[in-house]
């Protein structure tokens, strides 16, 4: 489990294919020696397991499933990634619940503002639009952000200077692809709407009658 508060930016040293998977070598800005082999680490929003480490570098395997659902399969040496260690029990919860399970890939379609504070508009897959609500949470490349505006196929987030300077947002451009993870709470709420139905469907069953029946 993560919070979406990026601890540092890493640089991809190598991305080596192994069968249908990928082995990443990443150099970390923070002290990777605080991590152990077997620990979870978020790499641009994807939960990976540290398989080895040496100095400032660590290695992690990327499964075929993760490659198909994220941008990690497109990483090349020299590219930068957001890093966050798994949250410790009892630690401060600075962002929101982030699992590190990418739901889809978005594309930056507009960047508004030439000052330090900028608004990024991101196009999303149609199946994720129902989870987007204004003032709701979204993880973009592992960064916990608040949705400022949302449309049927896109949403916008405002990125403050600190977040921009301490993540890959500082080099993000229109056309770049990003990993998206919607708020897990929204998924559970949606699932509750189908408890009384015999078959899962795309249409939500949450109605006023349903809420009254379940004590709301």
Instruction: Give the pLDDT score at 173.
Output: 96
Instruction: Give the pLDDT score at 1.
Output: 85
Are 214 and 196 spatial neighbours (Cβ–Cβ below 8 Å)?
Answer: no
Instruction: Give the pLDDT score at 203.
Output: 55
Instruction: Output the CATH code of domain 8-85.
Output: 2.40.30.20
Instruction: Give the pLDDT score at 15.
Output: 96
8-85 against 104-188: fold identical: yes
Q: What share of the chain is helix, strand, coil (3-state, %, to 5)?
A: 20, 40, 40
CATH fold of 104-188 reads Elongation Factor Tu (Ef-tu); domain 3 (2.40.30)
Are 4 and 96 spatial neighbours (Cβ–Cβ below 8 Å)?
Answer: yes
Instruction: Give the pLDDT score at 195.
Output: 54
Are 73 and 62 spatial neighbours (Cβ–Cβ below 8 Å)?
Answer: yes
- Going residue by residue through the chain, which has 216 residues, state the pLDDT in tens, using 9 for 90 and above: 899 999 999 999 999 999 999 999 999 988 887 889 999 999 999 999 999 999 899 999 999 999 999 999 999 999 999 999 998 766 666 678 899 999 999 999 999 997 789 999 999 999 999 999 999 999 999 999 999 999 889 999 999 999 999 999 999 999 999 999 999 888 888 777 665 454 545 555 666 676 667 666
What are the structural domain ranges in the chain? 8-85, 104-188
Parallel, antiparallel, or unpaired: how do β-strands 80-85 and 104-112 relate?
unpaired
Instruction: Give the pLDDT score at 39.
Output: 95
Give 59's contacts (C-beta < 8 A, 6+ positions apart): 23, 24, 25, 26, 50, 51, 52, 53
- Encoding tokens for residue 28? 């970390």
Measure the CA–CA gap between 44 and 41, rounded to whole angstroms. Answer: 10
Q: Which residues pair with 2 in a beta bridge?
A: 98
- Encoding tokens for residue 80? 């930068």
Instruction: Give the pLDDT score at 205.
Output: 61
Q: How far is CA 191 from CA 26, 65, 194, 196, in A?
A: 37, 23, 6, 10
């Amino acid at each position: 489990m993560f919070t979406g508060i990026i601890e540092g930016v890493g640089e991809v040293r190598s991305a080596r294919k192994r069968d249908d998977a990928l082995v990443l070598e990443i150099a970390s800005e923070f002290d990777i020696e605080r991590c152990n082999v077997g620990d979870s680490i978020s790499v641009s929003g994807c939960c990976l397991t540290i398989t080895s480490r040496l100095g400032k570098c660590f290695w992690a395997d990327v499964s075929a499933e993760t490659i198909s659902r994220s941008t990690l399969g497109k990483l090349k040496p020299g590219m930068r990634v957001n890093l966050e260690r798994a949250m410790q029990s009892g630690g401060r919860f600075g962002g929101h619940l982030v699992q590190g399970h990418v739901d889809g890939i978005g594309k930056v379609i507009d960047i508004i503002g030439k000052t330090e504070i900028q608004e990024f508009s991101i196009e999303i897959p149609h199946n994720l639009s129902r989870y987007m609500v204004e003032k709701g949470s979204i993880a973009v490349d592992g960064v916990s952000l608040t949705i400022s505006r949302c449309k049927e196929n896109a949403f916008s987030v405002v990125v403050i200077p600190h977040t921009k300077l301490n993540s890959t947002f500082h080099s993000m451009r229109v056309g770049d692809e990003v990993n998206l993870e919607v708020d897990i709470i929204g998924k559970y709420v949606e699932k509750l709407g189908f408890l009384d139905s015999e078959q899962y469907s795309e249409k939500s069953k949450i109605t006023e009658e349903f809420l009254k029946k379940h004590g709301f």
